[in-house]
Amino acid sequence: MHAPLITKYVYQIRSRNGAIVDNLQIYGRNEEDANRKLQQMYRHCEILEVHIATPERSTASSYEDVLNLIANNT
């Protein structure tokens, strides 16, 4: 059984008291799941912007990549 794929969503919201919250990062299986989690934390907020966070580096590494990292750090 495979683990579900989790994506990081980055939000900019306006809370119900008018404060802007920027770079709010929430993990979810999909955007609906992330929105549900957001609404649990910030009830009645207004979503101003949402996008998927892009990883800074590749999560897939080859055997050669790992060996190169080890060799370069010794």
Strands (E), 15-60: 20-28, 46-52
CATH code where residue 35 lies: 3.10.20
Give the count of alpha carbons within 13 A of 47, CB side only.
Answer: 17
CB atoms within 10 A of CB 26: 20
Q: How far apart are CA 52 and CA 55, in angstroms?
A: 9
- Label residue 19 by pLDDT band (50, 70, 90): very high
- Model's pTM, two decimal places? 0.66
Average pLDDT over residues 2-8: 74
Q: Count of domains in the chain?
A: 1
Confirm whether 69 is domain-assigned.
no
Domain enclosing residue 12, as ranges: 1-54
Give the count of alpha carbons within 13 A of 71, CB side only.
Answer: 6
Confirm whether 49 is domain-assigned.
yes
